[in-house]
Amino acid sequence: MPKKPVSKNVSRLNEDIKRELIDIIGGMKDPRVKGGLLTIVRVDTTNDLAQCKVYVSVMDRPGGAKEVVDGLNAAKGHVRSEISSRMHIRRAPEMIFIEDDSAAYAAHINSVLKDL
């Protein structure tokens, strides 16, 4: 079944959500989320705006992104209400935080190429 193309408005909303998430996560005091270089790689919102998958990458952290993703998933209710109030939308999508290791994999490939 082919995937439906994302409309221009949904892709604009994805970028707005990403910008607000960066600000919200930067202000969180949860020790699981603090520390390390946290990057939001991509935000994918469904066309009906019911669900939003947030791909998170963490560098320079011994535990990796698993602990950070667990902390963000524990605080997803708070994040959802903050998104709703900051963006002035009636119903914010449900946030699902997913670990993305593409940046770490790219750094590994880069180091392998340098060794050659």
Q: Is 2 domain-assigned?
A: no
- pLDDT band at residue 6, thresholds of 50, 70 and 90? low
Q: Is 1 domain-assigned?
A: no
Q: Give the angle subtended at the CA of 114 by the CAs of 109 and 116, to the nearest 5°.
A: 100
Residue range(s) defining the domain that contains residue 108: 8-115
Q: Is 93 domain-assigned?
A: yes
CATH code: domain of residue 54: 3.30.300.20
Q: What is the 3-state secondary structure (H, E, C) of 4-61?
A: CCCCHHHHHHHHHHHHHHHHHHHCCCCCCCCCCEEEEEEEEECCCCCEEEEEEEEECC
pLDDT of 96 over the 80 cut? yes
* Structural domains in the chain (count): 1
Question: Residue 89 contacts by C-beta under 8 Å, 6 or more apart in sequence?
Answer: 83
- pLDDT band at residue 5, thresholds of 50, 70 and 90? low
Q: Is 94 domain-assigned?
A: yes
Q: Is 69 domain-assigned?
A: yes
**What is the C-alpha separation between 42 and 44, in angstroms, rounded?**
7
Q: Is 51 domain-assigned?
A: yes
- pTM metric for this prediction: 0.80
